[in-house]
A and B are shown apart, each in its own frame.
Chain A
Amino acid sequence: MSMIRESDRSRIATLAADPQDRGGPGTSLLSVRGLIKHFGRTAGLFSQRRSVVRAVDGIDFEVAKGETLGIVGESGCGKSTTARLIMQIIVPDAGDILFDGEEVGSHALSLGEFRQQAQMVFQDSYSSLNPRLTVEDTIAFGPRVHGLSRRTAIARAHDLLHRVGLEPSRFAGCYPHEISGGQRQRVNIARSLALEPRLLILDEAVSALDKSVEAQVLNLLLDLKEEFGLTFIFISHDLNVVRFMSDRVMVMYLGKVAEVGPAESILALPRHPYTQALLASMPSMDPDNRTQEAPVSGDPPNPINPPSGCRFHPRCKVVATLCAHSEPAPHDVGAGHLAACHLANPESGHPRLAAA
């Protein structure tokens, strides 16, 4: 399923000149099918009831070249696990991951080759940097592992530092504890670019920063994306940030995709009740526009024993008996916008559809 919008065609054209490109503009950079990961306690001596955490329970999505896919959801929805599954830090239980048309870990694309083309920026700026290494050594580590000489790697590190707005002459020899959170996150970004990747996964990369610093870093990311021709997967729980950064948005709930589609479409006209609730719960800037009632009722989700049928049904305002029995598949509601809700599918038999 190709989701290339008109506005991206020029960007795609420049990508076509990318020497690392293998699949051409029509191929998604990342294609994920049926990704599953369960964490469970298997037998110990006299194991207690098997508490299996269904962190990611069968998701499909695509990321086109040059776009930013935003992934939103509450804690426990599986977005961070998804990031780690893509990066193969955690081994998936099932599912296919195709990068530029080739299966990751296969003969065509080994894990090592994949790791040079996809990188990740973590949330905690402090714990993602080795406190014993200087900034330049941290950035140079990746290139050195891949065979560059120390001099070349350090030179590249300095260049990247400059590009992320940290003057190398001042910052290259610093240790992580000597610089601020925003500066550390810039170092993290520089490190992730050191291997010249094509895909960058940003896992809550700005969530821990102060708002003013966050704005600076987001703008930096957009500039770098343009400059290096990158593709982003931007994970966040903050809808405003996602709206700012993303071309397309994917909403996750309890390990499954609730809704996915172009950013404007999802945020202006959400079709899944969960997305609607998320958007409604964002406090408005307008003092006259107060949120009167809680948009979502019930307890926050527990991925250990997910509800039957549609996972959102216990908290859904428009729930019907159908929803508890049958899990809705993502249904295309037009222009590449899919929603996994019976209400979005005119043939589902949801009682409210008949009334409409």
Chain B
Amino acid sequence: MPLYILRRVLYVLPVAIGVSIICFLLVHLAPGDPLTAVMPIDATAEQQAEMRRAYGFDQPLPIQYGIWLWKVLHGDLGNSIATGRPVLAEVRRAVGNTLILASVATVIGFTFGTFFGFVAGYFRNSPLDKAASALSVFGVSVPHYWLGIVLVIIFSAQLGWLPPTGAGPDGSGNWRPDLEHLRYIILPAITMSVIPMGIIARTVRALVAEILAQEFVQALRAKGLSEWGVFKHVVTNAAPTALAVMGLQLGYLLGGSILIETVFAWPGTGFLLNAAIFQRDLPLLQGTILVLAMFFVMLNLVVDVFQTALDPRIQRS
């Protein structure tokens, strides 16, 4: 088994390299010379040439990639053009906020999702199933940024119970787990949890229905196993896949948080991305995307290994 884990880790390497290549190429995808993004408009020709050499834009592409990769591995993601601060520092600050938001959203989504999924799977084709299924379809079909706006309209503009934007009373500061900040996370987290909830509910429903329909469950019942026993059995069988899906959803939320964070002005990586795009702050854009993508790759790996550890069938291969 440790050999299998080692193999999975090694398989990740080419993917990680591929991801880094794509991130690197993003900057060069942008129309126009990448140099124009980092330079003042009135620079002279000599200044341009100097900048070009300084940034290494005069080298062939593979070498630029090599230099860039070398720097990245040493923790140097360049500096933000807008603020001048190191990209890594900016990202590190923002990642924390996004992680907190995404985690809370995942937990909410997972809790309600599994609940609805279980109900739907256990009581297949009953009105409860239809209701739960409807909710999960709703979850995956609703544009979450719109849902966020609607919730703000209801709970903030109309009722005034919850704040519309920000992570805390002092504006764009970081979120802290204390009473003051609690109100700020509620709406964004709920909005964010809707899609994972829908997906997890759908997955769990299918899983539960499939397990219950399997013949050995009927055999267990025939042997006199109580409903509670059957339930425990279903849970054990469904848990690995459900948890794996949850892990993946967390990854998607981390990567896709930009829309919600824009709606709620949440100071996370999504918000950072937004700023980077509009200021054409390419180093910041590149660095943030790289970090988020790597997070996702690592998360996938963890989920993969975790699933293997729990599923004896895969282990034997």
Contact = CB atoms under 8 A, between A and B. Distances in A.
Interface of A: 45-46, 48
B179 interface: no
Contacts of B7: 45-46
A1 to B, nearest CB: 44
B3 A46 contact: yes
A45 B10 contact: yes
Interface in B1-51: 3, 6-7, 10-11
Interface residues of B, number: 5
A46 to B, nearest CB: 5
Contacts of B11: 45
B3 A48 contact: yes
Chain A contact residues: over half helix, strand or loop, or mixed? loop
Nearest to B6: A46
Contacts of B3: 46, 48
Contacts of A48: 3
Contacts of A45: 7, 10-11
A313 B24 CA distance: 63
Nearest to B11: A45
A53 to B, nearest CB: 15
A279 to B, nearest CB: 35
Interface of B: 3, 6-7, 10-11
Nearest to A47: B7
A48 B315 CA distance: 13
A46 B6 CA distance: 9
Contacts of B10: 45-46
Name which of B3, B6, B7, B11 has the most chain A CB atoms within 10 A of its CB: B7
Contacts of A46: 3, 6-7, 10
8 contacts: A45-B7, A45-B10, A45-B11, A46-B3, A46-B6, A46-B7, A46-B10, A48-B3
A304 to B, nearest CB: 14
Nearest to B317: A48
A24 to B, nearest CB: 52
A47 to B, nearest CB: 9
Nearest to A44: B7
A45 B7 CA distance: 7
A49 to B, nearest CB: 11
Given A46-B6, A46-B7, A46-B10, 5 more contacts: A45-B7, A45-B10, A45-B11, A46-B3, A48-B3
B264 to A, nearest CB: 44
Nearest to A48: B3
A40 to B, nearest CB: 15
B302 to A, nearest CB: 20
A45 B11 CA distance: 9
Contacts of B6: 46
A59 to B, nearest CB: 30
Nearest to B10: A45
Counting from the closest, the 6 A-B pairs by CB-CB distance are A46-B7, A45-B10, A45-B7, A46-B3, A46-B6, A45-B11
B4 to A, nearest CB: 9
B157 to A, nearest CB: 56
A43 to B, nearest CB: 12
A302 to B, nearest CB: 15
A48 B1 CA distance: 11
A44 to B, nearest CB: 8
A237 B308 CA distance: 38
Nearest to A46: B7
A103 B189 CA distance: 72
A46 B10 CA distance: 10
A48 B11 CA distance: 15
A46 B7 CA distance: 7
B208 to A, nearest CB: 30
